[in-house]
Structures are given as C-alpha cells and as structure tokens.
Amino acid sequence: MKAVIVSDTHGRHETLTKVLRREEPADMLIHCGDTEGGEDWIRNHTQCLSVPIVKGNNDFFSSLPSELELDLAGLHVFITHGHGYGVSMGTERLAEEAMSRHADIVMYGHTHRPVIKKESGLWIVNPGSLSYPRQEGHDPTYIVMNLIKGGEPEFRLCKISRGSYFLDT
C-alpha cells in the first residue's frame, strides 16, 4: 500500500497538484490538516480511493474530524493536526496520546517542518508543508509511506525545490 502524506496546504493547490501527478498511482492520500476549505477540491482531484483528512487550527467552520484512527496493513495509525497537543513545543504529549491509543504510527502537521522518527516503538511523522514550509531551505515537503502487511513501514521524505518543477527525493 502506497500512501502520500501531506499537510498545511492552506487552500493553495498548485504544489499538491504536482505531487499527485508525480506520485500516481497511490492508494491513499492522507492530509494532516489546514486545508482551509480545500477538502472537497482535494478529494475531487485525486485518483486515490481513500482520502482521510483531519481538521487543522485554520479549518474554521469545517466539519472534518479533529482526529482519526485507521488500521492499515496491520498497523494502527493515529492522525491529528497536532496543535491540541502542543507540537510546536515538542512531540512528547502527542506521543503519549498515540501510545495510549496503541498506535504504531502517529501523523501530524501544524509545525510546517518535516519529521520522520521512531521513539519507543512509535513512528512519529510530519510531512511538513506544501504551501508555507518553515524548515531550513523552505522547500515544500511531503512523505510517501509504503506498507506491506506484517512488515515495517517505509517512509520517504520528498521535497519540491522552490522555483522548480522537479521533485527531489
């Protein structure tokens, strides 16, 4: 199973369109919040059969869920935007909550900085932002996750060079 993980698109779809073209075919597109009203556009412009999206702190008046839990290829995944867990100050509270839910993987956004790390058996994953990246270099980022039932998840951080139509992996 191939899943494309994105976050913090903030209603800007140009970069997401490039990512979707580049990564097709994908089984799933996971959005970790802050679509700013773009959830319908996102669902209508992907060929993925499953498009789970959570509500971010800028998704005012949205009916999206704040959190989701999914079982994918034998792994339990917890998805949230992260602002309710203070992720700007660190991922300790988020990891604690994910472990209390028996998650194998927790995905979040909000910080606009990519993260792929494993701590105490928990994968902690943030795809960064496609619209307003804040990490060094300020390149838009996303993550491709590959899952094989019974296997260890594989994560690949991908970036899009500013001013370029080429994707770097």
**Domains: count for the chain:** 1
pLDDT at position 165: 45
CA angle 10, 155, 76 (to 5 degrees): 85
Q: How far is CA 38 from CA 12, 78, 108, in A?
A: 8, 22, 18
Per-residue pLDDT at 119: 97
Peptide bond between residue 25 and the one before it cis (omega within 30 degrees of 0):
yes
User: In a 10 Å sphere around its CB, with 0-12 CB exposed, 13-18 middle and 19+ buried, how is residue 96 labelled?
Assistant: exposed
> What confidence score (pLDDT) does residue 163 get?
58
Q: What is the span of the domain harbouring residue 34?
A: 2-168
Q: What pLDDT is recorded for position 162?
A: 67
Closest CA to 87 of 64, 105, 111, 57: 111
Round to whole Å and give the CA distance between 3 and 135.
23
* CATH, residue 127: 3.60.21.10
Mark the ranges of the chain whose per-residue pLDDT is less than 50: 164-167, 169
d(CA 76, CA 85): 19
- What's this model's pTM, rounded to 2 decimal places? 0.95
